[in-house]
Amino acid sequence: MRSPKFVFSEPSIKSCTGPSQLISAWKKKVKPQLRKQVLWDLIEFRDVDHDIGTLSHQMSQEISEAAYQVSKPKTYLVEKSRGLCRQMTLVRPQDLIILQCLSSRLHSQIIRNSPSKAAFFQPGDMEWSAGKMTISDDDYGAVASWKRFQKQVLKFSRENKFVVITDVANFYDFINFKHLRNIVASLCDDVDEAVLDILIYLLNELAWVPDYMPRQEMGMPQIETEAPRVLANAMLFELDRVVEKHSYRNYARFMDDIDFGVRTIVEAKQAVRDIDLTLQARQLRLNSAKTKILTQREAFKHFCVKENSDLDRYAKLMELTSFFDVLKPRIGLSLTALYERWLSRRATGGPSNNSPFVQGNGSKIQKRIFTLMRKCDVHPPVDDLIWLTKQQPGMRATAIRTLVHTNKPNDAFNKLLRVLKSGVFVDDVAHIEFANFCVHSRLRRTPKLLTGFEEAVAILKKEGVIGAYAASLLLGRVGTPDQLLEHARELYPVWKNDYWLGRAIAGLYPRLHGASGHAAREYVQLLRSANSPACERVLDYHFALMNDSTFLKQSSNYLKHDNGSFPLKVFFPKAIQILSAKQNGAAAKTYSAIAGNHPALATDPFFKTWGF
């Protein structure tokens, strides 16, 4: 029930969560950001996109009537090192839309009142482009703002005798919502109290609360979207003032990564002391293990100044597009030689202690050179990428995504399978990255490979909901209709009440639709017996592609675009949706135009078994 005073806050609430604001947040921000979530949706939330007009009015009405309730989020783990895991949060689209609207309402004032131009984090203003997906290894924020941060750090590394590098220990986990509210309120003087109430309510509901423990009003949910980062960034404005007092023009911060230059050790220690005390006032602390005072020479080595300069020259050379096709083989050979020199390979494999890849910001250099090598169509050795997958959790996602493009995919799969069977993967994301490799690599269909897929599915099904999701993707590529039906039956207690896994199981329906026998009908009956609105929405979307020629024509621009980010140039969820389009007999020309842009559907040995 609403309180009598709530009516006075309605105009302010509607001004930032009205239907038009919700639609804008979805189209400009949330929709592209959802592709960065660890569990990509098998219809890419196209159902939400088609129904956003109706949904936005429903959501706006719920909020204005104080009836809005946050859906239960899902947490998953990302290994940082030595088994230590960061806890991330999966949030449903409707809640992300509202969080984005609230964040956008505050963002302009937060930035306007930022005390320092050296705080480089800016939200990424990503443009949605149908069919295109850029996989980035950046943790947060726009790539451009990260590059400006790096440029500033390299600049004052050259100008100061000493450079301090540090970050905040468990930053997100210890953000206190009371402190956050006070800071945001002080920065945004024309924001209604009720808007802040909704924001803090939403963050509280999304924060991890294990078992039946009471809420602590602490712990910013870590989501692969910009909204919580905009708010977390404001938590450190006080710190910016303190550091700039010590180190004017020689300071750079990107979220909780803090670097600054000083003239003496004494100045460095005084600044570190004052920063830590400032953070303690907000129940935060510096990370003592990562706080270092570097000499100029050490700073050059830590920030890989020479290596960055070398890669900058290659990047500029590759920007000469009129000459790139001619120069590409030579650039590729040169990059391969540079990679080998920097790796300084041990006799047993892996980098030596002298390798810049294992020093300071070396992982960033390694990611950069992998990206440049890929543009030149050269591949790092499979064994190097497997070594990274096993030994360096922070590089694991990059290594597996690089393996997707290898020219020895079956060899890579066999070696990744051995890693999976060894039990090295203790987090959820590793299982999803393994599945990403399996569904997007240009694999050859062999008896050994199919046996390996069976072994992988058996292992993944034992790894909780996200492991079951990964297993579903593998079966989605290689499984028969009967195997998919048996898989859905076996995991029925797991997926029937789970939003993400339920949508994945429903998303695989086109793999059964055209099959002979009763598998398709039984699969639909199983899905509907779960009484899951999420499953129903996905199923209805596939039926619309199969039976409604007008709907298919409206979706054709999205479906026909290829995706150069993958060897097969088609994103796995899109391939499944195109399979639905194939069943639409009333729109055969539309389907032909779509399929004609995806030659892999006719050449890949697995897609052939789907019925393309």
- Give the whole-angstrom CA distance, residue 204 versus residue 67: 16
Whether 311 contacts 317, CB under 8 Å: no
> Are residue 22 and residue 145 in the same domain, yes or no?
yes
pLDDT over 60 at 130, yes or no: no
In a domain, 381, yes or no: yes
SS (H, E, C) 381-402: CHHHHHHHHHHCHHHHHHHHHH
Per-residue confidence (pLDDT) for residue 139, from 0 to 100: 42
pLDDT digits (tens, 9 = 90+) for 442-456: 999 999 999 999 999
> Are residue 181 and residue 325 in the same domain, yes or no?
no
Who's near 458: CB < 8 A, 6+ residues apart?
A: none
In a domain, 438, yes or no: no
pLDDT digits (tens, 9 = 90+) for 137-164: 444 444 566 667 777 777 777 778 899 9
In a domain, 509, yes or no: no
- For residue 275, list its beta bridge partners: none
- For residue 74, list its beta bridge partners: 90
Whether 58 contacts 190, CB under 8 Å: no
In a domain, 535, yes or no: no
| CA neighbor of 374 nearest in space, from 41, 137, 586, 46 | 137
Please identify, among 233, 261, 279, the residue that sits at the C-terminal boundary of a domain: 233
How many folded domains does the chain comprise?
2
Residue 134 confidence class, pLDDT cut points 50, 70, 90? very low
In a domain, 152, yes or no: yes
> Are residue 316 and residue 197 in the same domain, yes or no?
no
Please identify, among 189, 206, 233, the residue that sits at the C-terminal boundary of a domain: 233
Residue 113 confidence class, pLDDT cut points 50, 70, 90? confident
> Are residue 226 and residue 317 in the same domain, yes or no?
no
Helix (H, G, I), strand (E, B) or coil at 88: strand
In this prediction, residues 236-245 reach a mean pLDDT of: 89
> Are residue 164 and residue 66 in the same domain, yes or no?
yes
pLDDT over 90 at 35, yes or no: no
In a domain, 197, yes or no: yes
Percent of the chain with pLDDT over 70: 95
> Are residue 218 and residue 313 in the same domain, yes or no?
no
Per-residue confidence (pLDDT) for residue 215, from 0 to 100: 86
- For residue 164, list its beta bridge partners: 260, 293
> Are residue 223 and residue 329 in the same domain, yes or no?
no
> Are residue 40 and residue 161 in the same domain, yes or no?
yes
| CA neighbor of 571 nearest in space, from 126, 135, 143, 29 | 135
> Are residue 25 and residue 156 in the same domain, yes or no?
yes
pLDDT over 70 at 129, yes or no: no
pLDDT digits (tens, 9 = 90+) for 524-544: 999 999 999 999 999 999 999
pLDDT over 90 at 18, yes or no: yes
Domain that holds residue 387: 305-358+361-403
Per-residue confidence (pLDDT) for residue 135, from 0 to 100: 34
What region, left, alpha or beta, does residue 327 occupy, with left being phi > 0 and alpha being psi -120 to 50 degrees? alpha
Whether 422 contacts 456, CB under 8 Å: no
> Are residue 209 and residue 353 in the same domain, yes or no?
no
Per-residue confidence (pLDDT) for residue 143, from 0 to 100: 56
Per-residue confidence (pLDDT) for residue 146, from 0 to 100: 65
pLDDT digits (tens, 9 = 90+) for 344-387: 998 877 899 999 999 999 999 999 999 999 999 999 999 999 99
